Structure 1
């Protein structure tokens, strides 16, 4: 077994006359795994699993040959075969005198440190230390500090009367953003839940239609895989609460999902997501409440409000369906990247969980939210001049999206157009079949002066002609 134990048929005995010497370097990780798997610990395995000099192989072979000639009267044949496909080069480490002095509690100069390191065959080139390959244990600045302390002498290092400790810890941007999301969602009146990442693999594969990364030797069938979505986890929470007569829920979870890489020799791909679930009444059951149930626009509103709170302006909704949502559902896109979806859960999925009331969900990937949010916020003074509102109701084909109407109006709306919103959509007797009426509200405002009636009328005419040109819109 290479690097662990030799074979009986290759032992040297009194009758041996010819010897073929092989000098080899073995990868420490491979020797360590093999020795443990076989339950064998030898002098060779202990040496190789700690690392040897990969560039000392030929020297060791030549020294062994020399001893065979001198002590046993051997005769050396000419030539050697050297197979070294992936050369291992010396490690280069930055010499950081300030950090090393902080670690050791010393005040050594750069020159003193260089002198100490060069005494053990380390090369110091400016601010870089080249570590010889026979020292595979030295890989970082702290290792250099250990060597300097050993050679300088621990007795020569004075006991420190005080220790400098940094009280300011750099904040991880991702962790801070997750805390911000948590604060925003709880401010929306949602309650945070935490669910188990280990799930029933066969059930989740059935519903998601995607492979689940399995767990070796699971505790039970209900913990046989790593989840690939947060939606089903929240659905379990909804089911648990409804079974205990708590039917009005507004919950969220920020946690990881695990995507199957397609190869069990690789670890699953982890992704941090935020998911929301709404069900039941919109308001508590009080004498003044309207007893209205949550609907699609509640979950869509939470998504829009969340984007507004984190200053993410450029997102859009696209019609979408998947294993969880179908009719009342949208995908959330940033540029051309789909980062999540929202909508009403499919009836067959609710039936599988014995839930008889509608449930609306939202699931978003956290990383794109952090990447595309606007980090710098600019504040402007409140305008001194009044704004002007104008309404425009147009009749268009039923399949024309309001988002496209707004985009077309913004193209020609001019610099004074501040916002466009949809305040009414109507289909009925007064609108031809296959058509719908969409009412848009426009807000105009200037920071320099009061806008005139003539300016607003001219802009509104331009906007209507653009809608007429692109969508065949008519005034209602």
Structure 2
């Protein structure tokens, strides 16, 4: 998941000196891995809006809610009709004079309002796109000179960079984090904000305490107390920065916590101290079934997976996510307890996800914050609260730190990094880049650097992470372009991969469409075909944390996915289908950690095989069409020793209309019509559907051995026909096998060209007619030699099948 962070360029400039334009900075950050989605200019469209002093305010004669103001704006006075409730004589307020264009596109003109002429317009903040506040006029500081342009007086002109952050760069979810990146890229010095303040209150230990019951969920918790605060509206500069960052202003206390979070990346939370039971803090897990109402007024049912902030009596906040309604800061708040903590990323992510809650704070905690910055951010916020909301800061802070930060030391091999990047950087150059990223670097023996990443870079845990940092800062554009080294000579593909490409091309040429289905599937298919417990169809590789039951195991057959695709097309009115898929099936290998992975080929032929035309009638697909597809495919692969057997027992197929097929006496697959029970399970009973299922691993060995170039025949062929009457239970392929075996290498082809079961046949008999092509590749065959083989073939057929030669 990515997050978009809006950053004010003027704010960035407080921490690093910049001499580049916004667009150039945008390109620089994007090339360094911080993608800038947009650069927006703000505050520039307020020409004609100036500071004016309200001299007089008197009622509108024709409207009770309107008033007429006399406003002095430099060298001229304006008479303005206004309905704001907060205007008083002596105030300085922004006035848009006639001709001014406001951000919403409106042009200010002289108008008559309820019979009174109004020249200009006094403005609220939202009318100038400075905030969402429309409660009244924007009251400007009294020191602003009349007639001064508002954009200049309030330093409104700025650029806002909308930066897309990837999850690993949590260190850049702050203005200082972005400024730190810019400092590293430009070689400038990073200037950190100061946080000095006077501690005028009582000792912190007399006011509160912090107990962490779950140190794995909360590795650090710091707290400070400020008494006598006034939660009033924040000054404009802070409200404007929050507005540009997409944060709504609440009051000075809450605004400071949001401001420091945006500035440093450390989320904070302020509690009403007087509403904390026993004025103390505890960090613990929630009770299962515990109910808690958050600041947004929503009540949540909690579980032990949620980490809670509690006082001495009850829960007061969802740790790292959102505060509770029972301890929120209100206009009546006088004393506050300020929290700054480090919460475990996994705990916060799981807890927030379970409740369906996501906040700016939870986003940062989920991705990891700087454990060492917890106390510093707290002190920064205490100082700002003292400055903006008044009050006395307690002496000292509480810093409960049960899980101290342990620096990680990494080794960087300079030669390996250069080989990886294609650069020729020296160890000193690499060390300089890493130092600019605030990493501690020491040279060790040989060409190695010992590197300690800073605490805020939680994403750097391996040597390759350091390599990436060097590439980013050195500049991807500075890395020389080189062609990958390729060894001479051709690299042969694995036989099964070559076979896969050839089959795919031939199937497409035959009018089939290739599909790709999910490797994750449901175990339901093995139930539908009633597979035995010992069957490979039940040798599942199960998925941990599956998305659904339908994707809970890895497939052991391609048939289920193919049938699902047929079903989807059938439901959408597509009935004439020619589909195929080539992919892996996964068979669990007992106690072995990895399964067997085999490439299979599966095809489906459904609906009409031949459309009606002027010269032919429409014909549905049948068994012989799918058998022909297999024969065409295998012969195209150079395989000619193909035989079919009718004893292929597979519950997915109709036992009367199915067969296994062998290549060189090795079983490689099966074909047939889908069984009625399986068709019914997929709601496709009305569709004539035939399947091919083939093991490419088994086929690849046969094709590889039989591959080679066969030159065209040089000698003539001798043709013989044979017609045999046999029992209907005799497979035609058995007779064809006898013909091949008797003829040996001289049999070029055997084709069944006639099947007769008419009146001339006795019950239970059939007549099969074959055409045999004899040919030698070495000499012209003599008729006598062919006749000897032919007669021997007939005798063997009669002996082994119990048949007889059919008389002409």
Matches within 5 A, 1:24-423: 165-167=484-486, 170-173=491-494, 174-202=496-524, 204-207=526-529, 209=531, 210-211=537-538, 212-262=540-590, 266-318=593-645, 319-325=647-653, 326-334=655-663, 337-355=666-684, 356-374=686-704, 376-383=707-714, 385-413=715-743, 416-423=746-753
Higher mean C-alpha displacement, 449-458 vs 252-261:
449-458
1-side partners of 2:590 and 2:786: how far apart? 59
Deviation at 1:458, TM superposition (A): 4.0
Cα pair 1:239 1:353 within 8 Å, conserved: yes
Cα pair 2:775 2:781 within 8 Å, conserved: yes
Q: Alignment partner for residue 425 of structure 1, among 731, 739, 755?
A: 755
2-side partners of 1:381 and 1:200: how far apart? 50
Q: Which residue of 2 aligns with 1:87?
A: none
1-side partners of 2:794 and 2:498: how far apart? 46
Structure 2 CA distance for partners of 1:449 and 1:371, relative to 1, 3 Å: closer
SS at 1:432's partner residue?
coil
Query: Going by fraction, where is helix more abundant, 1 or 2?
Result: 1
2-side partners of 1:350 and 1:161: how far apart? 60
Deviation at 1:410, TM superposition (A): 3.1
Structure 2 CA distance for partners of 1:418 and 1:165, relative to 1, 3 Å: same
Structure 2 CA distance for partners of 1:293 and 1:377, relative to 1, 3 Å: same
Deviation at 1:455, TM superposition (A): 4.5
1-side partners of 2:403 and 2:796: how far apart? 82
Superimposed CA distance per residue, residues 237-291 of structure 1 (whole angstroms, 9 cap, x where no aligned partner): 111111111110000011122223355x834332221100000011245444421
2-side partners of 1:238 and 1:382: how far apart? 43
1-side partners of 2:518 and 2:500: how far apart? 19
Cα pair 2:611 2:617 within 8 Å, conserved: no
Structure number with bigger Rg: 2
Deviation at 1:204, TM superposition (A): 4.4
Cα pair 1:422 1:439 within 8 Å, conserved: yes
Deviation at 1:406, TM superposition (A): 2.4
Gap regions ≥5 residues in structure 1: 1-36, 51-99, 106-118, 121-136, 138-159
SS at 1:182's partner residue?
helix
1-side partners of 2:780 and 2:596: how far apart? 56
SS at 2:529's partner residue?
helix
Structure 2 CA distance for partners of 1:164 and 1:448, relative to 1, 3 Å: closer
- RMSD (CA atoms): 4.2
2-side partners of 1:192 and 1:302: how far apart? 15
Structure 2 CA distance for partners of 1:431 and 1:225, relative to 1, 3 Å: same
2-side partners of 1:339 and 1:411: how far apart? 21
2-side partners of 1:226 and 1:348: how far apart? 24
SS at 2:656's partner residue?
strand
SS at 1:247's partner residue?
coil
Higher mean C-alpha displacement, 341-350 vs 402-411:
402-411
Structure 2 CA distance for partners of 1:282 and 1:320, relative to 1, 3 Å: same
SS at 1:282's partner residue?
strand
Q: Which residue of 1 aligns with 2:804?
A: 474
Cα pair 2:515 2:579 within 8 Å, conserved: yes
Query: Going by fraction, where is strand more abundant, 1 or 2?
Result: 2
Structure 2 CA distance for partners of 1:429 and 1:195, relative to 1, 3 Å: same
Cα pair 2:528 2:678 within 8 Å, conserved: no
Gap regions ≥5 residues in structure 2: 1-345, 347-401, 411-418, 425-444, 447-461, 463-478, 532-536
Cα pair 2:639 2:663 within 8 Å, conserved: no
Structure 2 CA distance for partners of 1:324 and 1:460, relative to 1, 3 Å: same
2-side partners of 1:336 and 1:392: how far apart? 24
Superimposed CA distance per residue, residues 309-336 of structure 1 (whole angstroms, 9 cap, x where no aligned partner): 2223444322212121122111233466
2-side partners of 1:430 and 1:315: how far apart? 32
2-side partners of 1:161 and 1:180: how far apart? 39
Structure 2 CA distance for partners of 1:285 and 1:249, relative to 1, 3 Å: farther
Q: Which residue of 2 aligns with 1:57?
A: none
Deviation at 1:346, TM superposition (A): 0.3
2-side partners of 1:414 and 1:430: how far apart? 34
1-side partners of 2:716 and 2:529: how far apart? 54
Number of residue pairs matched? 347
Structure 2 CA distance for partners of 1:259 and 1:285, relative to 1, 3 Å: farther
SS at 1:245's partner residue?
coil
Cα pair 1:321 1:327 within 8 Å, conserved: no
Higher mean C-alpha displacement, 165-174 vs 243-252:
165-174
- Give the TM-score, by structure 2 length: 0.38
Structure 2 CA distance for partners of 1:178 and 1:415, relative to 1, 3 Å: closer
